[in-house]
């Protein structure tokens, strides 16, 4: 009996790696979206590079290669993270499959729109990465494996954030298309991130977490995250006003 209790205790601590259940599940839900999302980014830029070959800009060629290499590494890292999560919460597998089906639908769009979506998703992740790097409202800064994974990912996102914009500029993607893509990418991320966060929290409630405590946790997280989301909204607006500015 004591072994069973200890095991549940260790799992509960792992589920609260970011101080609380809801804060932790917010990033866990985002991680579930990343492997199929990063596959979409890689496939889109690789497709354009083949169709546009030979590229007149050797620097852009090298930057695309670096982008693809780093996104592939991110995909592998988050797939391992998600697999470990699924060992604890088997229902995660179904969520992972749903996320993959959504990106399959995005892959059916025209190449200019897919390029614009790549730029939009990269801008959104860079805005989050900026917030993670400058404040700890959303993500705890400690030596835990999960925290180190997210902070490493954030640094690399900021380092190659300009690549997708450069590709769109070379491909002649219109600013209006980029703005539309930002709206689509924002809606996709916001809706699925909220849905998957709630789904993971429900799994925690079924595993023994208190429903009322979870609700209060969610309200505290929402209140404490207001300054972070306000700063991120300003970053979001930068793309609206100057979508082809690589210094965003």
Residue 246 is assigned to a structural domain of this protein: no
Question: Is 5 contained in some domain?
Answer: no
Q: How many residues does the chain have?
A: 248
Contacts of 26 (CB under 8 A, 6+ apart): 18, 138, 193, 197, 221
- How many whole angstroms separate alpha carbon 23 and alpha carbon 40? 27
* 3 located within any domain: no
pLDDT tens, residue by residue, 33-76: 999 999 999 999 999 999 998 887 899 999 999 999 999 999 99
Following DSSP, what letter does each residue of 122-177 receive, concatenated? HHHHHHHHHHHHH--SSS--SS-HHHHHHHHHHHHHHHTTTHHHHHHHHHT--HHH
Work out how many domains the chain is built from and give that number.
Answer: 1
Answer yes or no: is 198 within a domain.
yes
- The per-residue pLDDT for range 191-238, each reduced to its tens digit, is 999 999 999 999 999 888 889 989 999 999 999 999 999 999 999 999
| Full residue range of the structural domain in which residue 21 is found | 10-241
- The predicted pLDDT at position 248 comes to 54
pTM, whole model, 2 decimals? Answer: 0.91
150/132 Cα distance (integer angstroms): 9
Asked whether residue 220 is assigned to any structural domain, the reply reads yes
pLDDT digit string, tens, across residues 143-165: 888 999 999 999 999 999 999 99
């Amino acid at each position: 009996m004591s072994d069973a209790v200890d095991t549940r205790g260790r799992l509960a601590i792992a589920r609260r790696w970011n101080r609380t259940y809801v804060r932790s599940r917010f990033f866990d839900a985002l991680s579930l979206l990343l492997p199929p999302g990063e596959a979409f980014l890689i496939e889109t830029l690789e497709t354009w590079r083949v169709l546009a070959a030979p590229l007149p800009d050797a620097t852009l060629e090298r930057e695309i290669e670096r982008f693809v290499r780093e996104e592939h590494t991110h995909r592998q890292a988050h797939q391992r993270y998600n697999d470990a999560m699924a060992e604890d919460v088997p229902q995660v597998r179904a969520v992972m499959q749903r996320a993959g089906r959504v990106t399959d639908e995005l892959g059916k769009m025209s190449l200019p729109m897919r390029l614009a979506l790549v730029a939009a998703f990269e801008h959104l992740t860079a805005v989050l990465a900026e917030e993670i790097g400058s404040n700890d409202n959303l993500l705890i800064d400690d030596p835990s494996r999960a925290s180190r994974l997210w902070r490493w990912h954030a640094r690399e996102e900021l380092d190659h954030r300009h690549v997708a914009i450069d590709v769109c500029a070379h491909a002649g993607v219109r600013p209006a298309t980029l703005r539309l893509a930002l709206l689509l990418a924002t809606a996709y991320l916001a809706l699925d991130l909220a849905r998957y966060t709630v789904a993971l929290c429900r799994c925690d409630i079924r595993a023994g977490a208190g429903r009322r405590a979870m609700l209060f946790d969610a309200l505290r997280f929402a209140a404490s995250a207001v300054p972070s989301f306000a700063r991120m909204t300003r970053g979001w607006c930068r793309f609206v006003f100057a979508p082809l500015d690589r210094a965003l």
